[in-house]
Structure 1
């Protein structure tokens, strides 16, 4: 991997380290990526969170750094990745492969193909545009869905994590893209909610692809305007403290 100023490698260098043939993300690195690059202030990405989880957006970014872009890319998350877990990225992956730890436990299932050539600056632009959507997830996109369905997560132990994400391109990109929200959806089943956010991928204002993110909201209960209002207020305070 080359590390030019405008490339995925330059963007991601502060947020992981290599140990022999594995990739390792510390809590500090994962938290920094979530807050500084994705604009994601989910408490599960706080350095001192008891259930700290490496951001799925960072794993997506690392996959792009390692393998570039494909016309169709789908990531399915199979577990919460803890800090300092060594990961192996296949050196010659097939169109379907997994990112696993040294013991063989899968954390991300990847469908990837056919490969799509793109300059490093375009690859970086895809990463930045895609992960920035996480800064909108809560409260901007998710809270209205929860209110419409009159459900919410436990305000004392909120748990909102990635289930899957996907991108599809109609043609190769020639410039860094932007994303435009097209629809949101929430499916409730007992105490679990599956939230999906769909976007168009735009180049110079023209649609050239589509992408989506699917989140799992756990521990659903009856919606409380007062409780949700307090959660939103705390979250906005976290954003403000981060200078957002």
Structure 2
């Protein structure tokens, strides 16, 4: 499923602007302007990095991914030997730290199902989950510069001998102090209706301000208009 979204050179991988942007829009349904091909400050989607790691190393019962730096096009992301802990780096610069434990599965059916379910869930976080979650506490992001940074994500599987788990949203959390805050998006993984795992996505938010319905309506409308335009192109 991922072959068209990154270039595999064995010891390292590279991702072009076109590949990162296409993954964001076609797989994750994510229309963050940072992932546009012509973005001035383009960055590869964090969910694509997560997906590449699963594609290369398989799935463990316990996995944690910590994002250290944004990846631009042309970065040579080194793929070290699989271990309990390893870093995805270009030279001395670390972009992603990975921690793993428990049994490992390289089942492509499971890998593809987990990737597709997770990135679809993650991609729709903005605006469908983040804005309503923040509005409950009377605040919103800065519409002129919506800074939401992907900090980390983790997954736990009770068992690894599954093939097509489904993802169900769980209870999310938002806390803030002043203009900075943290969002935790939670989900359960189910196989035949039974919960067999769970996970979390952590994001940092800055530029928080008082909630304004008119501004939120304009922000969502603009996002949806851009999404419709790009999908029809």
Query: Which bin holds the TM-score, normalised by the shorter protein?
Result: over 0.9
TM-score where L is the length of structure 2: 0.94
Residue equivalent to 2:199: 211
**Are 2:163 and 1:175 equivalent residues in the alignment?**
yes
Q: CA deviation at 1:118?
A: 4.5
CA contact (8 A) 1:56 1:162 kept: yes
Distance 1:107 1:60 in 2: 11
Residue equivalent to 1:12: 2
Q: CA deviation at 1:25?
A: 0.8
CA displacement 1:26-51 (0-9 Å, x = unmatched): 11111110110011111111112222
Q: Which runs of 5+ in 1 are unaligned?
A: 1-10
**Are 2:69 and 1:79 equivalent residues in the alignment?**
yes
Residue equivalent to 1:145: 133
CA contact (8 A) 1:100 1:106 kept: yes
CA RMSD of aligned residues (A): 1.6
Aligned with 1:46 (options 11, 14, 36): 36
CA displacement 1:180-235 (0-9 Å, x = unmatched): 11111111133222111111101111110001111122222222211111111111
SS at match of 1:238: helix
Distance 1:47 1:191 in 2: 30
Residue equivalent to 1:234: 222
Residue equivalent to 2:209: 221
Q: CA deviation at 1:165?
A: 0.5
Residue equivalent to 2:60: 70
Q: Which runs of 5+ in 2 are unaligned?
A: none
SS at match of 1:193: strand
| Count of residue pairs the alignment pairs up | 232
Q: CA deviation at 1:243?
A: 4.0
CA contact (8 A) 2:188 2:199 kept: yes
